[in-house]
């Protein structure tokens, strides 16, 4: 029934039906040999692997909705990346719940650059931490390392901006839709990133930045990276959520030593170092690791 249907449209429909980052999509997919077979069963109500509640939700989702999203993306210059696309990064396929759909604006090939480092930290950093993020990002970017971060204020912004100023590439993993103006007034900066790299989101283009979305996107930040650098983090910082994902994905975690061991602003770094994270004093240390790994 669905043999001639655009595969991107099938993935989009599944994303509409299950919702972004829903592990249940992959649980059900494990019973099928193809996305066409799964969609065929779901549409004809023959699928015995979903709950009654899921079946009711799925029955309310139409291909028209998926087509509307596809048409909107085409109009806005947003590339729809799905798991069977040759440009879909292998690193994402290896995590527990890969994005079924990624909405991308910019150079999608940046997602597969082998030498990629995530530089992350608080939205309200000290001037010292901003300077550290800028130094590490520019040094690595000048040497061909792709800089990945989450497009938030603070450390993320410093990392993205310094990578671009150094003539390097950067990947911004959004916690909202690509068309939503968040942080407010940053549309121009987002366009700049798309020119020097790529901005991506697994949320529909106009999705709002609800808190849960940022925790969801963190697994992508770590998955796309060879290693993660924590510049500044308090004990309750969302940065530590990204670190947890990185550890579960067997990624090295580097930490800038606390600027002030008595300040709660750096308590997250202290905790990570106590737990065995690697302290780093120079971007050369990270570059050495990347070269040693022959990446």
| pLDDT per residue as tens digits for the range 186-236 | 999 999 999 999 999 999 999 999 999 999 999 999 999 999 999 999 999
pLDDT at 112: 97
Residue 2's pLDDT is: 53
**Residue 263 to residue 100: CA distance in whole angstroms:** 41
> What are the domain boundaries of the chain?
1-76, 108-292
Give the 3-state secondary structure of residue 201.
strand
Fold (topology level) of 108-292: Rossmann fold (3.40.50)
Locate 10 and state its tokens: 């099938």
Q: Within the chain, which residues score under 50 in pLDDT?
A: 1, 4
Q: Is 255 exposed, middle or buried (0-12, 13-18, 19+ CB in 10 A)?
A: buried
232 near 121, Cβ under 8 Å? Answer: yes
Instruction: Report how far residue 168's alpha carbon sits from residue 268's, in angstroms, rounded to the nearest whole number.
Output: 29
Can you tell me the distance from the alpha carbon of 197 to that of 183, in angstroms, rounded to the nearest whole number? 19
Model confidence over 141-159: pLDDT tens digits? 999 999 999 999 999 999 9
82, burial (CB in 10 Å: exposed 0-12, middle 13-18, buried 19+): buried
């Amino acid at each position: 029934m669905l043999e001639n249907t655009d595969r991107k449209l099938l993935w989009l429909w599944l994303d509409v039906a299950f919702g972004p980052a829903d592990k249940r999509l992959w649980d059900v997919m494990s019973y099928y040999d193809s996305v066409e077979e799964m969609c065929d069963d779901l549409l004809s109500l023959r699928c015995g692997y979903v709950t009654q509640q899921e079946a009711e939700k799925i029955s309310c989702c139409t291909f028209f909705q998926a087509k509307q999203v596809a048409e909107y993306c085409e109009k806005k210059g947003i590339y729809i990346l799905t798991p069977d696309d040759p440009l879909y990064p292998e690193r994402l396929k290896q995590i527990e719940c890969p994005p079924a759909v990624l909405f991308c604006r910019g150079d999608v090939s940046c997602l597969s650059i082998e030498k990629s480092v995530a530089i992350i930290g608080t939205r309200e950093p000290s001037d010292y931490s901003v300077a550290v993020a800028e130094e590490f990002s520019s040094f690595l970017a000048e040497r061909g390392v792709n800089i990945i971060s989450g497009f938030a204020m603070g450390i993320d912004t410093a990392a993205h901006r310094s990578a671009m100023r150094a003539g390097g590439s950067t990947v911004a993993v959004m916690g909202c839709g690509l068309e939503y103006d968040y942080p407010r007034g940053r549309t121009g900066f987002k366009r700049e990133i798309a020119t020097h790299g790529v901005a991506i989101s697994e949320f529909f283009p106009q999705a709002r930045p609800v808190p849960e979305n940022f925790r969801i996107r963190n697994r992508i930040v770590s998955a796309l990276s060879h290693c993660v650098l924590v510049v500044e983090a308090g004990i309750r910082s969302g940065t530590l959520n990204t670190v947890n994902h990185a550890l579960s994905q067997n990624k090295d975690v580097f930490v800038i030593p606390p600027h002030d061991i008595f300040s709660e602003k750096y308590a997250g770094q202290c905790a990570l170092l106590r737990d065995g994270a690697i302290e780093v004093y120079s971007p050369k240390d990270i570059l050495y690791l990347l070269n040693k790994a022959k990446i």
